[in-house]
């Protein structure tokens, strides 16, 4: 079955999540340390905004969805690449000799 990013997204309008999440919330959702979320934000891999006088990070739920979909796409491509490294010409050509 081909990869479909939309299959990994949830409907924001029907989501019990608020529109903007704290890094701690994203950390809990992804089950990773908060420090990793801060690294993703500072590197630009996960897009967020800084708000307030203390410039605290906030992540829009839609940006989190895109990040997750991109991560699935990356892993799907990596898996196909690993499979292709082990394929032979005959396998790639559906058993026909080219």
Per domain, the residue ranges of the chain are 19-92
As a whole number of angstroms, the distance between CA 43 and CA 94 comes to 42
pLDDT of residue 8: 43
Successive 10-residue mean pLDDT values, the chain, 98 residues: 44 69 96 97 97 95 95 89 67 54
pTM of the model: 0.68
pLDDT of residue 1: 38
Q: Does domain 19-92 have CATH number 1.10.1660?
A: yes
pLDDT of residue 16: 67
Cβ-based neighbours of 19, under 8 Å, separated by 6 or more = 12, 60, 61
Q: Which two tokens stand for residue 76?
A: 């799907």
Where do the H-state alpha helices sit in 16-87? 23-30, 34-43, 61-86
pLDDT of residue 85: 66
Dihedral class, residue 95 (left if φ above 0, else alpha if ψ from -120 to 50, else beta): left
């Amino acid at each position: 079955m081909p990869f479909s990013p939309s299959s990994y997204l949830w409907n924001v309008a029907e989501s019990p999540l608020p529109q903007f999440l704290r890094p701690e919330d994203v950390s809990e959702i992804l089950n990773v340390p908060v420090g990793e979320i801060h690294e993703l934000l500072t590197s630009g891999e996960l897009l967020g905004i800084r708000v307030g006088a203390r410039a605290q990070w906030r992540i829009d739920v839609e940006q989190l969805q895109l990040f997750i979909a991109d991560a699935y796409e990356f892993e799907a491509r990596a898996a196909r690449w690993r499979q292709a490294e082990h394929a032979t010409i005959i396998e790639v050509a559906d058993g026909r000799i080219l």
